[in-house]
């Protein structure tokens, strides 16, 4: 690579002395900011306390965060994890090991990632691609990492140079299970914890192995040792076992609740060893007699919501005297527990806190987005299985603070439409229709004409509106919801609708159905969408121009009132698009099932690709203007977009004849420049920046699967020094071209 770069530079060029700061594989800043929860809402699975003020945490969505003032403020790097090859978003981090406050390694989905600047930047460690679960270092040179995904290869790797290179252990038994954790006291005796209740044990440094049963076949997630002989494992259904002979035999501990435990830690003082176990409960178990008896230690702050499956994975119980610790968990929980003498205090270190853990299905923004916001949805527990829960969140200051508005229903709420700042309507499950006339201080239940789930509510004035839902349900009111008239069209369920005025409107739904009315719904006329895919959302900007989106990458546009719906090509051909919104006929946004959104400024001919850095689907969106957008989705996540130049990838639907990398513009640049390239067919795209010695300083795009087209990529050089740099385009791992650019500050 270096020789190629030198050839590109040629023999005559000006040599700049570079005093640069490494840039992470994408900018740590983002155009998307969390409004709820704050400072971010992805599940946190690891944390580390260096002292009373400095803490690190990491987790899902590839997030790494740190504080240096005891949780008052946080630096958040949403790009710390490995990059998804289809969606371009940062992926889950399961564990980490830091040698000091500057240098550490992250383990999770994909390559191991290393930082040498305290988490400001992370880079892949080459040759480590797999699904990693836990990382363990015996000393600053020797370390191990285990694979947690079934079928992952290798399952165990070792480093002897501080994590720069890793070698796979090919002798460890391979069977249909996963290795989740590892412990070694001397590099000779090695224990690897399997998910099925067995432990792979080696007494010769990993040359040979035997599988030792723990006495329980349930999945175990974590293994921690006090010394060479004494250690604990914990896992599913309240399973905790301990050993006093270095893992040869294990004894069960039975006096614990039957909840899943995720982590174990110890606090060792002169005359005492305290064992802490954490899991999906609102407190932590503590034992001072090696598991014979247990006490519960509260960790929730006063009035803090209690949720299931709180991952309190790491207990930093040794940085303050007594029982002081921090815990992290689901939906971004970060709590500190500290005690002084006999008075115990609890501090919740999240500015807004988590009001609930609903799935947000609908958002409404009143005015220009600087005041009233509403979000409606449902609560969830356990993966994709959701339970009904009354859920209306409200903010009077653009999302800085949130309150729960009381309701009279326990149904899932899917759609909200506010007529003005005072009056609005909500529709949801079991035919639920709610109304407020006082900004949501009170929501009253309106008489429902159906028991079908209602997916969309759309009003054209304070009196006239429609609800749409499952089973082709359509009902209209002209008296503010007091009475409803059925306008059912027999057929598949309706997922979205867009009413322009009392006469004109459209709805769309499963199996590609699109219908239009021009007489207030007396008649609904079928239109051909030219797709059988389910349509999730439709938005009409005028009587002629509108858009719809759905599953399998379906995005379509009409300019003749729906008589013809023409497909729009997007960067990802297989994405599941949940919602779209447009502020005008040219400026719009698409949301997807992978936390990625697309933004267009030219009516869908080109799309900017953004990761919201939210782990999970984005179900709803509201576009106030091209520069102000709100989205909501999984785990009560509500985020706001503010326009800027950070990390913008603009994809344009063109038909290039060849692969081509263009000269960046402007050049020289300060602080940002645009790098343009053509790809004539779909492929995996990587765009890297190097210094003149061939050392990589930034991976702007990492193995992102894009459709054929033209890409304009914004590169922000705010964190690099003046000098000469090279940028290289790779397609499917093959180098296309390298060009020179100059940063001048």
Q: Which residues pair with 469 in a beta bridge?
A: 454
Query: Residue 5: enclosing H or E segment and its boundaries?
Result: helix 2-9
Place of tokens 């949801």: 428
Query: Distance between CA atoms of 397 and 275, rounded to whole angstroms?
Result: 44
pLDDT of residue 478: 97
pLDDT of residue 88: 53
Is 400 within a domain?
A: yes
Is 454 within a domain?
A: yes
- The domain that holds 572 is classified in CATH as 2.130.10.10
Pull the structure tokens for residue 462. 């304070």
Is 88 within a domain?
A: no
Is 572 within a domain?
A: yes
Query: Do 421 and 521 lie in a common domain?
Result: yes
Burial class (CB in 10 A: 0-12, 13-18, 19+), 354: buried
Query: Do 436 and 411 lie in a common domain?
Result: yes
pLDDT of residue 385: 36
602-614 residue pLDDT tens: 999 888 888 787 8
Is 36 within a domain?
A: no
Torsion of CA 80, 83, 84, 87, to 10 degrees: 90
Q: Which of 520, 517, 524, 432 is nearest to 469 (CA)?
A: 432
Alpha carbon of residue 46 to chain centroid: 16
Query: Distance between CA atoms of 508 and 215, rounded to whole angstroms?
Result: 56
Query: Do 687 and 614 lie in a common domain?
Result: no
Query: Do 377 and 507 lie in a common domain?
Result: yes
Query: Do 405 and 482 lie in a common domain?
Result: yes
pLDDT of residue 354: 72
Pull the structure tokens for residue 60. 């899902």
| 440 cis-preceded (ω within 30 degrees of 0) | no
| 232 cis-preceded (ω within 30 degrees of 0) | no
Burial class (CB in 10 A: 0-12, 13-18, 19+), 383: exposed
Query: Do 690 and 645 lie in a common domain?
Result: no
Query: Do 640 and 735 lie in a common domain?
Result: no
Is 415 within a domain?
A: yes
Is 688 within a domain?
A: yes
702-719 residue pLDDT tens: 777 788 999 988 888 877
Query: Do 450 and 506 lie in a common domain?
Result: yes
Domain span holding position 685: 2-11+651-743
Average pLDDT, consecutive stretches of 10 residues, N- to C-terminus, the chain (745 residues): 33 26 36 85 87 87 88 84 60 91 91 89 77 91 84 78 92 79 93 88 94 86 90 87 92 79 79 79 80 79 58 42 72 74 49 70 90 84 41 90 83 94 95 96 93 96 96 95 88 93 97 96 94 96 97 95 94 86 94 86 88 84 92 87 66 92 95 93 89 82 83 84 94 94 93
Query: Do 572 and 665 lie in a common domain?
Result: no
Query: Do 410 and 451 lie in a common domain?
Result: yes
Number of domain units in the chain: 2
Among residues 617, 649, 681, the one where a domain terminates is: 649
pLDDT of residue 129: 72
């Amino acid at each position: 690579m270096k020789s190629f770069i030198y050839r590109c530079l040629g023999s005559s060029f000006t040599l700049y002395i570079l005093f640069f700061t490494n840039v992470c594989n994408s900018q740590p800043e983002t155009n998307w900011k969390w409004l709820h929860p704050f400072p971010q809402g992805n599940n946190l699975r690891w944390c580390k306390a260096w002292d009373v003020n400095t803490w690190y945490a990491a987790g899902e969505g590839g997030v790494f965060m740190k504080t240096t003032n005891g949780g008052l403020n946080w630096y958040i790097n949403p790009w710390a994890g490995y990059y998804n090859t289809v969606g371009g978003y940062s992926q889950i981090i399961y564990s980490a090991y830091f040698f000091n406050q500057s240098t550490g390694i992250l383990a999770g989905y994909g390559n191991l990632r290393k930082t040498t600047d305290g988490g400001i930047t992370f880079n892949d460690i080459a040759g480590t691609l797999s699904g990693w679960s836990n990382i363990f270092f015996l000393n600053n040179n020797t370390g191990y990492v285990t694979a947690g995904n079934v079928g992952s290869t290798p399952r165990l790797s070792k480093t002897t140079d501080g994590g720069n290179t890793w070698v796979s252990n090919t002798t460890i038994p391979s069977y249909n299970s996963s290795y989740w954790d590892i412990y070694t006291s001397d590099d000779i005796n090695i224990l690897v914890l399997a998910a099925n209740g067995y432990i792979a044990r080696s007494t010769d440094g990993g040359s040979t192995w035997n599988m030792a049963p723990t006495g329980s076949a349930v999945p175990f997630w974590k293994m921690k040792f006090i010394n060479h002989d004494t250690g604990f494992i914990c896992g599913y259904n309240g399973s905790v076992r301990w050993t006093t002979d270095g893992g040869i035999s294990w004894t069960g501990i039975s006096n614990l609740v039957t909840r899943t435990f995720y982590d174990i830690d110890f606090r060792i003082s002169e005359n005492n060893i305290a064992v802490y176990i954490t899991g999906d409960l609102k407190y932590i178990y503590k034992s001072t007699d090696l598991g014979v008896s247990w006490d519960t230690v509260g960790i929730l702050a006063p009035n803090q919501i209690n949720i299931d499956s709180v991952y309190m994975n790491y207990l930093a119980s040794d940085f303050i005297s007594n029982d002081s610790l921090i815990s992290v968990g689901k939906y971004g929980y970060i709590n500190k527990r500290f005690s002084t003498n006999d008075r115990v205090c609890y501090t919740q270190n999240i500015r807004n806190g988590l009001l609930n853990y609903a799935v947000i299905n609908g958002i409404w923004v009143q005015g220009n987005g600087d005041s009233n916001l509403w979000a409606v949805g449902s609560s969830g527990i356990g993966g994709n299985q959701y339970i009904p829960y009354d859920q209306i969140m409200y903010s009077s200051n653009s999302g800085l603070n949130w309150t729960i508005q009381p309701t009279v229903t326990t149904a899932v709420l899917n759609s909200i439409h506010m007529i003005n700042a005072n009056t609005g309507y909500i529709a949801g499950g079991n035919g639920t229709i709610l109304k407020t006339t006082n900004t949501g201080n009170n929501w009253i239940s309106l008489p429902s004409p159906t028991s079908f789930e209602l997916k969309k509510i759309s009003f054209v004035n304070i009196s006239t509106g429609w609800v749409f839902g499952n089973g082709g349900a359509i009902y209209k009111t002209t008296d503010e919801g007091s009475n409803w008239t059925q306008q059912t069209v027999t057929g598949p369920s309706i997922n979205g609708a867009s009413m322009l005025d009392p006469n004109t409107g459209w709805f769309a739904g499963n199996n590609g159905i699109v219908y239009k009315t021009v007489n207030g719904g007396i008649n609904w006329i079928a239109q051909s969408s030219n797709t059988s895919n389910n349509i999730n959302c439709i938005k009409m900007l005028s009587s002629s121009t509108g858009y719809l989106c759905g599953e399998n990458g379906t995005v379509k546009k009409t300019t003749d009132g729906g008589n013809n719906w023409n497909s729009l090509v997007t960067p990802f051909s297989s994405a599941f698009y949940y919602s779209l919104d447009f502020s005008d006929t040219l400026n719009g946004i698409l949301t997807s099932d992978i936390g990625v959104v697309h933004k267009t400024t030219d009516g869908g001919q080109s799309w900017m690709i953004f990761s919201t850095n939210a782990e999970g689907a984005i179900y709803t969106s509201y576009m106030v203007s091209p520069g102000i957008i709100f989205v909501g989705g999984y785990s009560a996540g509500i985020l706001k977009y503010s326009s800027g130049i950070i990390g913008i990838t603009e994809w344009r639907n063109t038909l290039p004849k060849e692969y081509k990398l263009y000269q960046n513009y402007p050049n020289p640049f300060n602080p940002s420049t645009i790098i343009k390239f053509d790809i004539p067919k779909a492929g995996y795209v990587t765009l890297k920046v190097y210094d003149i010695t061939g050392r990589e300083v930034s991976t702007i795009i990492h193995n992102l699967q894009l459709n054929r087209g033209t890409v304009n990529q914004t590169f922000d050089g705010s964190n690099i020094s003046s000098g000469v740099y090279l940028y290289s385009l790779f397609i499917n791992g093959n180098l296309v071209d390298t060009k020179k650019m100059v940063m001048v500050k």
